[in-house]
Structure 1
């Protein structure tokens, strides 16, 4: 089974995955990237009204094969 690497940008730091995860296929890697972004948003919601979390998935050759972004926009209603 192939290994996929998940590079994450949480808006504060850019984290490069050097270990990777073995998954069945690209579709599982896509789902893992999206789940990771949702978990990050839940765990690390910043102060302020706008924030974007990003994930890039690389294959075993280092080629970027998928990218996802989750943007939170919020504000008080007058």
Structure 2
């Protein structure tokens, strides 16, 4: 089963995923990335901060296969 790693950035801090997750269906990558971005956005929304979040997904060999971005504006 392929393992995928979801690295994140919130505009200030980058976090490299060292554990990864096994996904049987590559179609699940976008769903997992969206769930991760949603969680990051909610945490910052509660703090009242605007941010741009990025998630990059890579295979075990380091190949980048997906990039997603979400923008949170607080006014």
What TM-score comes out, normalization by structure 2 length? Answer: 0.86
2:8 aligned partner: 8
Q: Hey, what does 1:54 align to over in structure 2?
A: 54
Q: Which entry has the higher C-alpha Rg, 1 or 2? A: 1
Which residue of 1 is the match for residue 20 of structure 2?
20
Structure 2: unaligned runs, 5 residues or longer: none
Distance in 2 separating the partners of 1:52 and 1:25: 28
Distance 2:72 2:40 in 1: 12
- 1-structure distance, mates of 2:74, 2:42: 14
Counterpart mapping for 1:32-43 below 5 A: 32-43=32-43
Distance 2:26 2:59 in 1: 9
Q: Give the whole-Å Cα distance in 1 for the aligned partners of 2:48 and 2:11.
A: 12
Listed one character per residue, the Cα deviations across residues 37-70 of structure 1 (whole Å, up to 9, x for unaligned) are 001101123544x420100000121100000000
In the alignment, what sits opposite 1:68? 68
